Amino acid sequence: MEQVLRRFGYRQLGHANKGAALAYQQRLSDYSRAQVIRRVATRWMATKPLAKDFRRPQHAFARRYTSADVTMLAEVDRADG
């Protein structure tokens, strides 16, 4: 996306031409119109890279059972056979 924006000189374009450049980006990237505008308006215009910055959550899955619960469940399972 950055290469295309640089090639078009996006920062210097007029309003109508910016719309055309964003529509081109939308077709090229398969992002929705809102995603393209959000990415370009917030990141590109603030001179930040457009690379995705997704990270996994620190604790993706909350632990349902504590160690004490696991021990107790194992004892109950052994008692049941």
pLDDT confidence of residue 5: 83
Burial of 22 (0-12, 13-18, 19+ CB in 10 A): buried
pLDDT confidence of residue 54: 65
Q: Which domain holds residue 45?
A: 2-80
Q: Give me the residues of the chain with pLDDT under 50, please.
A: none
What is the pTM for the complete model shown?
0.54
Query: What domain count does the chain have?
Result: 1
**pLDDT tens, residue by residue, 25-37:** 888 888 898 988 8
Backbone angles phi, psi at 68, to 5 degrees: -65, -40
Q: Please give the DSSP secondary-structure letter assigned to residue 65.
A: S
CB atoms within 10 A of CB 30: 8
pLDDT confidence of residue 38: 84
pLDDT confidence of residue 52: 63
pLDDT confidence of residue 65: 82
